[in-house]
Amino acid sequence: MPVTIKTPYEIEKMRIASQLAADVLEMIEPMVFAGQKTGELNKICHEYIVNKQNAIPAPLNYHGFPKSICTSVNHVVCHGIPNYKEKLNDGDIINIDITVIKDGYHGDTSKTFFIGHPKKETKKLVEITYECMKEAILIVRPGTRLGDIGYTIQKIAEANGYSVVREYCGHGIGKIFHEEPQILHYGKPNTGMELAEGMTFTIEPMINLGERFVELLNDNWTVETKDKKISAQWEHTVLVTKNSFEVLTKRPDESF
């Protein structure tokens, strides 16, 4: 599948879908607390996307995924399935991954939330993971190469003693949820495809406190760290502009 260069019309559609996804994360934040069940978070987000935004939650029934959002708690790296047995506890972290379809276009973003009072090492992992994503976004412009993005993330993570998950990556996005190119979160500088104006893709590093190795559970979705140490993730949908970048899923409290 070739990389799609988005037209101004398509970019505007993606801005709308991406801002809806960002709005869901803003909406759900007050509901993320100790004692809350991930199944309830899914229900609230689903109803908000469908009834308030008149949009579609992209994960629901995507290759059989059973819920409208992903909720990945502590050592779950990604694709955690919300349910009514899983309750959030003080000191936990949870990544909530939202993808919204509006008028046929996708917006994809995620945020890692603290529950109550996190340990110092937990707080640092989440903060460094955000820094990995942000610094990678800041180098996006025409001519930057995919290896530069991966290298930027890997360098920051490993300098802090963390590891980068390699089995899952960012991706092109538009009318299709996952399209080319793949955005690896590790790599060598000045290697890989050059970015071009009009490309849209996600940058979504998964950074582990322990080793990088992961395992897929029997539900064929949930991915955990093999050593059961915590993992953090952040994600934004990014547009390559004429001379720089635009974070399509940017929230009001962020600066890029």
Q: Which residues pair with 44 in a beta bridge?
A: none
CA–CA separation, 33 and 147 (whole Å): 38
pLDDT band at 2 (very low <50, low <70, confident <90, very high): confident
**Phi/psi zone of residue 219: left (φ > 0), alpha (ψ -120 to 50 degrees), beta?**
alpha
**16 within 8 A of 243, measured Cβ to Cβ:** no
Annotated domain spans of the chain? 8-247
Query: For 60, which DSSP code?
Result: T
**Residue 94: per-residue pLDDT:** 98
Residue 154 is predicted with a pLDDT of 98
pLDDT of residue 169: 97
Q: Tell me which residue of 106, 104, 124, 105 sits closest to 114, measured CA to CA.
A: 124
Residue range 14-66, pLDDT digits in tens: 999 999 999 999 999 999 999 999 999 999 999 999 999 999 999 999 999 99
Q: Which of 158, 153, 155 lies closest to 140 in space, CA to CA?
A: 153
- Per-residue pLDDT of 75-132, as tens digits, reads 999 999 999 999 999 999 999 999 999 999 999 999 999 999 999 999 999 999 999 9
* pLDDT tens by residue, 121-139: 999 999 999 999 999 999 9
DSSP state of 191: -
- pLDDT tens, position by position, 164-197: 999 999 999 999 999 999 999 999 999 999 999 9
Q: What's the pLDDT at 90?
A: 98
> According to the model, what pLDDT value does residue 39 have?
98
Residue 194: its pLDDT value, please?
97
The highest-level CATH class for domain 8-247 is alpha beta
- pLDDT of 1 > 90? The answer is no
Q: Can you tell me the distance from the alpha carbon of 97 to that of 168, in angstroms, rounded to the nearest whole number? A: 14
The CB density around residue 44, as the number of other CB atoms within 10 Å, is 17
